[in-house]
Amino acid sequence: MSLSKLFAVSSALLLTLSLTACAPEVGSEAWCKQMKEKESGDWTANEAADYAKHCVFK
């Protein structure tokens, strides 16, 4: 594997990991706030259930 391919793969992996690390933990105050700001029509069934469980019925 050439050095440029190794660099490209490493960069892509680092970018992917950094984006997933930014998501707040389900049930946290930050997550509840993020969900409140998101259109409810865009919520998945799991997100709606988690929102009800962690943000409404504490």
pLDDT digits (tens, 9 = 90+) for 6-52: 778 877 777 666 666 688 999 999 999 999 999 999 999 999 999 99
Amino acid 9: pLDDT = 82
Where is pLDDT greater, at 58 or 21?
58
pLDDT at residue number 19: 64
pLDDT at 7: 76
Please state the φ and ψ torsions of residue 21, each to the nearest 5 degrees.
-75, -15
Of 24, 54, 9, residue with least CA distance to 1: 9
Specify the pLDDT at position 17. 62
Q: How many residues does the chain have?
A: 58
Provide the whole-model pTM: 0.61
Q: Where are the domains of the chain?
A: 24-58
